[in-house]
Every structure is written in structure tokens, then in C-alpha cells.
Chain A
Amino acid sequence: EPEVTQTPSHQVTQMGQEVILRCVPISNHLYFYWYRQILGQKVEFLVSFYNNEISEKSEIFDDQFSVERPDGSNFTLKIRSTKLEDSAMYFCASSEGSALRYTFGSGTRLTVV
């Protein structure tokens, strides 16, 4: 069964550094998403991406965050100047259409120290 692949599985970074989380969505999917889950808290929507542009974003997704689909296969989340509170599991997801059945990756655990 096709999978959404996320790398790395765990990233440790110093506060103030930039990180890039990478995702390879399912090849025929057109909609891409980033979610995060702070330890012990609920899964939160960050951003959705379609047709090479952001279609929706949450209040969490401020100027510190950006997304890109640089080469037609990867979908990246960049976090500039990381803060301690950015520590969380970050999940990438993709869907074939607006049918809204997402396939999630296994996540990247980001630890900001």
C-alpha cells in the first residue's frame, strides 16, 4: 500500500536554528498537509497545500513557518528560528482529492533544546 514518507524520524536542534522537515507524499495525491502534535496534546492543523500554493493555514502557521514543494515529489516544512515550544511530532499527510481521506506519514519528532 502506498505510504507517505517523512524524514528524519527524529530531529534535535538548538533554539534559534532553522529546521527543514521533509515529506514524500503519495505520488498521485494532489493535496498536502502538515499537522503537529505537542506531547500529550491534540493533533493540530498547520497548513494545506494544493496546486503549488497554500490553500489554508491555521493561526499556528505564522511567519516562522513556510512550506515548499521544490521538485514535484518532496513537500517540506521549514521552521525558522525554532523555539522551545516548537518541540512536537510533525505529521505530513496527503490526499488524492478533496475527498478528504488523508494518508499520514509516521511523523518527525522535533526536539528544540
Chain B
Amino acid sequence: DQQVKQNSPSLSVQEGRISILNCDYTNSMFDYFLWYKKYPAEGPTFLISISSIKDKNEDGRFTVFLNKSAKHLSLHIVPSQPGDSAVYFCAAGYGQNFVFGPGTRLSVLP
């Protein structure tokens, strides 16, 4: 039972363009959502978060949008840079533990 889904296993984007990574969840109790970036052989690195009381949160080139009615969130990266190439994990939860999605591998092409 996948409570957090990232239906695109991979995404390729040209440098300078927008990257949009999507995430869907099924548990309506989830009230906090995070995006992590992971390079090979490293632990996940926190990118940005959003709580269920908001529908948008912005931090530099990264913006997360939350659509609670659709149980959907997305991460926008503008403009995309080659260094953004990594696996991006969506995480959703409540309390102290989270469920991670399977990840989307983003490749930003120069």
C-alpha cells in the first residue's frame, strides 16, 4: 500500500527551464510534507517543506505547492541547473515519522 506516490521515476529537463516534480498521497491525516534531494552515496538533504495550512511555500529557486483536496503536491525548480541533477524524494506524515515516496530521478541537461 503506497501511501506516497511519485509516479514519474525519472525526468529530464534542459538547463534554465522549469522542473516540476509531482507527488500524490493517500492518507488524509498527513499534515506536513517535505522534499529531499539525494545524491548517490549520500543521505537525503532537506530542500523545502510545507504544512497543510498553506498551499505554497517558496525558497529561492524552489517552490512547493500543496493541493489538499487532490492530495497532491509538487516541487518547482526554476531555473533548473545541472547541479540539481539528483533523486528527489517527497515525504509526507504526521507526528514524528514520515512515509517517503519512491523518488524521481531528475537530470538537468546542459
Contacts and interface: CB of A to CB of B under 8 A. Distances in A.
B95 A106 contact: no
Q: Point out which of B36, B41, B96, B103 has the most chain A C-beta atoms below 10 A from its C-beta.
A: B96
A65 to B, nearest CB: 15
Given A100-B32, A101-B34, A45 B44 contact: no
Interface string A72-83: 000000000000
Interface string B77-107: 0000000000001000101111111110000
B96 A100 contact: yes
Main secondary structure on chain A at its contact with chain B?
strand
A4 to B, nearest CB: 7
A48 interface: yes
Contact of B96 (A31, A43, A91): A31
B8 interface: no
Contacts of B46: 101-104
A100 B49 contact: yes
Interface residues of A, number: 26
Contacts, number: 59
A18 interface: no
Contact of B45 (A35, A100, A104): A104
Contacts of B102: 41-42
Interface string A91-113: 10100001011111111000000
Contacts of A100: 32, 34, 49, 93, 96, 98
Contacts of B97: 33, 45, 48, 56, 58
B87 to A, nearest CB: 10
Contacts of B95: 56, 98
Interface string A31-62: 10101000001111100101000011010000
B42 interface: yes
Which are the 10 A-B pairs with shortest beta-carbon distances? A104-B43, A43-B100, A42-B102, A48-B96, A106-B43, A45-B97, A104-B44, A56-B97, A91-B43, A106-B42
